[in-house]
């Protein structure tokens, strides 16, 4: 269902809140995605064009499912802590003692979430062939087909 966010905690945009709670990529794995490490979700969406074998599709789905579970769990925790932070300020209950631990906790959760997404992209290189990885980059618009023939 929809997460109702009270006014004082609207530090996160609705889109960000939804992204966190639904375990979406949110560009967290751009470093991987743009450098030849495909994302499992897009690999599954492009399964036909990439000619995935049954085993490749199965392993990709496992990687995605595991990533998604972790991402949803961490995302919900981030939203909850961000709401707590907003509430602390709204209620003027911020102290040096309660502020730092909460902010550090949010940062740690965000780092873990980024790691979950990056790791899923890293896993794909062991699953796909070099040709499939090139094809993926082409299909996602990162490579022009001509560029592939003229790499020096």
**Tokens for 25?**
């990529």
Q: What is the pLDDT along the chain (152 residues), one digit of tens a residue?
A: 666 555 555 678 888 999 999 999 899 999 999 999 999 999 999 999 999 999 999 999 999 999 999 999 999 999 999 999 999 999 999 999 999 999 999 999 999 999 999 999 999 999 999 999 999 999 999 876 555 555 44
pLDDT for 72 equals 97
pLDDT for 11 equals 78
pLDDT for 143 equals 76
pLDDT for 6 equals 57
Q: Can you give the pTM of this predicted structure?
A: 0.84
CA dist., res. 139 & res. 152, Å (int): 21
- Domain locations along the chain: 7-21+30-142
| Kind plus residue range of the DSSP H or E element containing 92 | none
**Tokens for 144?**
């022009």
CB atoms within 10 A of CB 152: 2
**Tokens for 31?**
């470093």
What count of Cα atoms within 13 Å lies in the side-chain half-sphere of residue 127? 29
pLDDT for 12 equals 87
């Amino acid at each position: 269902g929809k997460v109702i966010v009270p006014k004082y905690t609207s530090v996160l945009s609705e889109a960000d809140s939804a992204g966190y709670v639904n375990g979406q990529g949110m560009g967290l794995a751009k470093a991987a995605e743009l450098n030849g490490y495909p994302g499992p979700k897009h690999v599954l969406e492009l399964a036909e064009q990439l000619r995935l074998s049954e085993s490749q599709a199965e392993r990709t789905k496992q990687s995605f499912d595991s990533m998604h579970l972790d991402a949803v769990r961490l995302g919900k925790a981030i939203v909850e802590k961000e709401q707590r932070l907003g509430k602390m300020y709204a209620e003027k209950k911020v102290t040096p003692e309660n502020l730092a631990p909460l902010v550090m906790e949010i940062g740690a959760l965000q780092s873990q979430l980024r790691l979950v997404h990056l790791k899923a992209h890293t896993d794909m290189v062991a699953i796909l062939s070099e040709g499939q990885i090139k094809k993926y980059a082409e299909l996602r618009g990162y490579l022009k087909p001509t560029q592939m023939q003229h790499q020096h």
